[in-house]
Structure 1
Amino acid sequence: MTTQPDHPGPPAPRDEAPGDHIPTCYRHPDRETYVRCQRCEKPICPDCMRVASVGHQCVECVREGNKTVRHGQAAFGGRPVTTPFVTWTLLALNVLAYLAEVVNPARVLNAFAMSADAVYYGEWWRLVTGAFLHSPPPSYWHILFNMWALFAIGPQLERLLGSLRFSALYLLAALGGSVAVYLFGSVAVGASGAIYGLFGAMFVISRRLGYDMRGVLWLIGINAVLTFVIPNISWQGHLGGLIVGALITALYAYAPARNRTAFQLGTTLVVLIVLVAAVMVLPPLVSFAG
């Protein structure tokens, strides 16, 4: 009689098929893995996996896929804006400058306010710094109105134009207002030139996109009347900023679709050069005439 052994020996070896080897990550050959890229089917370890719409992909496939993805843009070019950081930064700069005036108004205004004669004699920085100063205490309405306007329409414009174009609009409108003060005024402070530039931008964009422009026209009209009715307001800075702001926005909004970014950059530089050249070539007409 034959009996079974209590402890059978190891099974007889079998021949291993060529495809039975354990797969390893294509980037890390020392790591076993049974997960494959959904696009190229290369084995990938957890460090090389990237979550895709379906399953996982390897690093190279994700990189190649991103090249074909068309990223969103703002309405008139540039990257889309979710948080209007430029608007908040401009608000903060204006408020900080005003706090400096609260501490020492005479020193700040004497050194940084827009003055046509001072710019003519080499203090060119006043063309910019004067646009961040406001009437010193006890006057508060000046900065309150300008910052309210920037808070109200700045984020919308920044989202439509993109942060870089919005920055160029604000600064060139401010510069345009200062240049107008230089040529036809004397001394001024305030962000009003830049704010009126934003008003002009809203008008151009509303027309370009087919929006109802009556609200914008009322806004511009009321502020234009106040400019000439309320004493001690620099109409030069307001109109200069309004014209430059509308011009820059028109160049952005009506730029040709082909080579739009190059066109916008080129025309921005042209406007900047014209404004700088006006200060370098011409004397302050009204100030010297008086």
Structure 2
Amino acid sequence: MSQDSTLQLAGLIKGNEAALVDELITAMRNKLMRFDKVSESEIRQQTAQLLKLLELNIPKTTTHNLNDSIWAETKQLLTEFSHARVKQGYTPAETASIIFSLKEPIFKLLRASLTDQPQQLVEELATTTALFDSLGLYTIDVFQKARELVISRQQQELLELSTPVVQLWQNVLALPLIGTLDSARTQVVMENLLQKIVETGALIAIIDITGVPTVDTLVAQHLLKTIAAARLMGADCIISGIRPQIAQTIVHLGVNLEDVITKATLADAFVIALKKTGASITNSAA
């Protein structure tokens, strides 16, 4: 990118910002791009900001390498723009469309300005394409990283929500498990259970696996680790929800649960827990 080329491009942007924004909005409407989650006025404002930064920064460099410190402020604007689009539910392509859609109106200005200079026009078009492609790809990259962070955070929140520890009675906790128990989830289960034991001083924790579809060697190991951790905190564990097929699987796998109380239902486990804590339930006469 030559100095003359950068000055030419910056000069075309200067004074044409409003026209460029108008053409961008028209192009977005023609391509049926969405305005449902972000207003037209917001897009106009963001595009005007981007054009102003390009107008200021393009003459300061002869390269479109965005690692150059000259582009720091522009990259910050694109980062904020991409993060907002992640929260608004846009796709990477929709997010980068504003950048890529700016190329055509700028090409139009270049063609009008350099009609009688075909060689320079070709160079300017190549320079502009390289610059806006770099900006667009940066936007996509930032968008994808931001979305991965959002997904990771949501997965963590879902893990925590899917492993509630409930206090059934004084000194008695229940941990109902639903779905597959993998290593990551086991860690959350263990942390939530141990924290609740500390908070309540519970003596018994009922781990209910009624909602666990299958029990294999790995799931059994995760259960045993959770039980061992709870015992270190002073709480004994009872496993409820042992269905016939799960009982057969555990025996077939050779998993040793001899020192763990197991029951078919949560209700049965609760009765045992009450006895162990010295409490009892009696039916009152009507």
Using structure 2 for the length normalisation, give the TM-score.
Answer: 0.27
Structure number with higher strand proportion: 2
Quick one: higher RCO (CA 8 Å, sep 6+), 1 or 2?
1
Structure number with higher helix proportion: 2
